[in-house]
């Protein structure tokens, strides 16, 4: 197997926390960078050869973890647009190619993200969907307060969906991935359970506290852990912000985070991935003038904490991709901030999304401190093919968005 770094480079890097190894469960991650899940390379509900090429060429250039783009468990409610993959029996061949390509680069760690559209699923006429009549599923039939789509899930629906998640995780394991990431962020299915606005259930899956509302995600984590054994990595990704509401909060106060993390940890989570609009944005300025959400999380768990948000770029994902504010590059300054955050113990790993799409050699550049001629991120250029394959017609995620 090829290794990506020459020995002298590894030795040279040992003083640099950004390039120091990290243990997650029993797996060693070679450095502190990750490529997050970014849906852009699927067609017909399957990953393309292009996705495999893109992920391989990024893996070759250095991040410790590659997270594959979000793929839905194979259940009728998980089919939204063919631009978003399913991870199920019918897509094993294509996913197998992606996994082999990424792992062929050497010592990178691969996590496959499991995502479910939840209440945001909308079947549009003329867009291929094998289950057009199946309703969208969510905890209470809500996208956000006052906006409905689809139906609240019954106990049987919850059981079936959980089983489909487990099936996907087992496929990921059989294909050779090191683990999975459970997408509980951005307003999709599992986040709709966490968010008080959209989880109005009065059964054991709802409740007053964030820890109460984490019951269903925790049940899925626990079922995946039982099926995959002790060493398979399970990452749980969550966010305060939602695509339909940038200012949303699943935790009104940091005190809510401790019991929530504890519940997921008890269920079998190995690592928490805090998705922020900007990685170092101060979360509760009235309580602490410095701490980000990830940094608060770090004080409440002994599990590794990954975070992300606008590294190298002046505008966040929402302002950029939804509100057309093209970002300006600020890589050198941000890497200084990332190093400070790591050294302060605010997080253990950092994600770089858009800046790694436009610069697949981002991590190599940071290692060499070579910030010359980096490419801007421009959505209509860098995501051109993804935009072509996605139908924007009437999409619920684009309507009634609460912005800053």
Ligand X SMILES: Cc1cc2nc3c(=O)[nH]c(=O)nc-3n(C[C@H](O)[C@H](O)[C@H](O)COP(=O)(O)O)c2cc1C
Q: Is 116 in the site for ligand X (CB under 6 A)?
A: no
Q: Is 36 in the site for ligand X (CB under 6 A)?
A: yes
Shortest reach from residue 224's CB to ligand X, in Å: 17
Burial-class residue 97 by CB neighbours within 10 Å (0-12, 13-18, 19+): middle
DSSP E strand stretches across 170-253: 179-186, 233-242
Q: Is 120 in the site for ligand X (CB under 6 A)?
A: no
Q: Is 185 in the site for ligand X (CB under 6 A)?
A: yes
Nearer to ligand X, 22 or 338 (CB): 338
DSSP 41-59: SEETTEE-HHHHHHHHHHH
Total residues interacting with ligand X, rule: CB under 6 A: 26
Q: Do 288 and 245 meet the contact criterion of CB atoms below 8 Å apart? A: no
Count of CB atoms within 10 A of residue 93's CB? 10
For residues 374-393, which are near ligand X according to CB under 6 A? Answer: 383, 386
Q: Do 358 and 382 meet the contact criterion of CB atoms below 8 Å apart? A: yes
Shortest reach from residue 64's CB to ligand X, in Å: 16
Of these, 18, 22, 29, 38, which contacts ligand X (CB under 6 A)?
38
Tell me the C-alpha distance between 13 and 16, whole Å.
5
Nearer to ligand X, 36 or 212 (CB): 36
Nearer to ligand X, 268 or 351 (CB): 351
Q: Do 307 and 235 meet the contact criterion of CB atoms below 8 Å apart? A: no
User: Helix-strand-coil percent breakdown of the chain, rounded to 5?
Assistant: 40, 20, 45
For residues 352-371, which are near ligand X according to CB under 6 A? Answer: 352-355
Shortest reach from residue 11's CB to ligand X, in Å: 30
Shortest reach from residue 249's CB to ligand X, in Å: 17
Shortest reach from residue 38's CB to ligand X, in Å: 4
User: Which residues, 6 or more positions from 292, have their beta carbon under 8 angstroms from its beta carbon?
Assistant: 274, 276, 279, 280, 281, 282, 283, 307, 341, 346, 347
Shortest reach from residue 353's CB to ligand X, in Å: 3
Of these, 22, 24, 37, 109, which contacts ligand X (CB under 6 A)?
37
Of these, 119, 175, 311, 342, which contacts ligand X (CB under 6 A)?
311
Closest CA to 43 of 393, 403, 394, 386: 386
The pair phi, psi for residue 274, each rounded to 5°, is: -90, 115
Q: Site map for ligand X, 221-240, x if CB under 6 A? A: ----------------x---
Sole window of 9-17, 37-45, 192-200, 281-289 interacting with ligand X (rule: CB under 6 A): 37-45
Sole window of 25-33, 36-44, 143-151, 196-204 interacting with ligand X (rule: CB under 6 A): 36-44
Tell me the C-alpha distance between 125 and 369, whole Å.
50
Of these, 310, 319, 358, 359, which contacts ligand X (CB under 6 A)?
310
Q: Is 308 in the site for ligand X (CB under 6 A)?
A: yes
Shortest reach from residue 2's CB to ligand X, in Å: 27
Structure tokens at 282: 């101060």
For residues 61-80, which are near ligand X according to CB under 6 A? Answer: 69-70
Tell me the C-alpha distance between 362 and 277, whole Å.
20
Nearer to ligand X, 223 or 276 (CB): 276
DSSP 19-35: GS-EEETTEEESSSEEE
**Contact residues for ligand X, defined by CB under 6 A:** 36-40, 69-70, 113, 115, 183, 185, 237, 275, 308-311, 316-317, 321, 352-355, 383, 386
């Amino acid at each position: 197997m090829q290794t990506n770094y020459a020995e002298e480079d590894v030795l040279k890097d040992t003083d640099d926390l950004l390039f120091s190894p990290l243990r997650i469960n029993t797996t060693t991650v070679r450095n502190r960078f990750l490529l997050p899940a970014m849906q852009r390379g699927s067609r017909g509900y399957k990953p393309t050869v292009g996705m495999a090429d893109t992920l391989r060429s990024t893996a070759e250039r250095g991040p410790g973890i590659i997270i594959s783009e979000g793929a839905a468990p194979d259940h009728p409610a998980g089919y939204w647009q063919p631009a978003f993959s399913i991870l199920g029996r019918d897509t094993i061949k294509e996913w197998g190619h992606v996994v082999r390509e990424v792992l062929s680069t050497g010592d990178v760690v691969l996590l496959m993200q499991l995502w479910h559209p939840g209440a945001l699923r909308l079947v549009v006429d003329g867009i291929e969907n094998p289950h057009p009549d199946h309703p969208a599923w969510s905890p209470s039939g809500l996208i956000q307060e006052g906006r409905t789509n689809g139906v609240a899930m019954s106990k049987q629906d919850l059981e079936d969906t959980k089983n489909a998640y487990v099936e996907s995780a087992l496929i990921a394991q059989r294909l050779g991935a090191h683990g999975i990431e459970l997408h509980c962020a951005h307003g999709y299915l599992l986040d709709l359970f966490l968010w008080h606005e959209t989880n109005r259930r009065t059964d054991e899956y709802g409740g007053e506290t964030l820890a109460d509302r984490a019951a269903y995600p925790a049940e899925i984590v626990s079922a995946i852990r039982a099926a995959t054994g002790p060493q398979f990595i399970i990452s749980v990704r969550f966010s305060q912000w939602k695509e339909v509401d940038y200012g949303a909060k699943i935790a009104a106060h940091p005190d809510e985070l401790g019991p929530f993390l504890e519940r997921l940890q008890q269920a079998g989570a190995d690592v928490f991935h805090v998705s922020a609009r900007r990685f170092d944005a101060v979360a509760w300025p009235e309580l602490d003038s410095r701490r980000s959400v990830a940094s608060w999380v770090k004080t409440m768990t002994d599990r590794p904490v990954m975070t992300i948000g606008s590294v190298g770029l002046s505008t966040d994902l929402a302002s950029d991709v939804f509100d057309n504010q093209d970002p300006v590059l600020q890589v050198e300054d941000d890497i200084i901030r990332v190093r400070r955050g790591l050294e302060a113990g605010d997080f253990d790993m950092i994600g770089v999304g858009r800046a790694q799409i436009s610069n697949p050699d981002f991590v190599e550049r940071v290692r060499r401190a070579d910030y010359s001629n980096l490419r801007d991120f421009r959505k209509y250029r860098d995501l051109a093919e993804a935009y072509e394959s996605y139908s924007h017609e009437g999409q619920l995620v684009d309507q009634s968005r609460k912005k800053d």
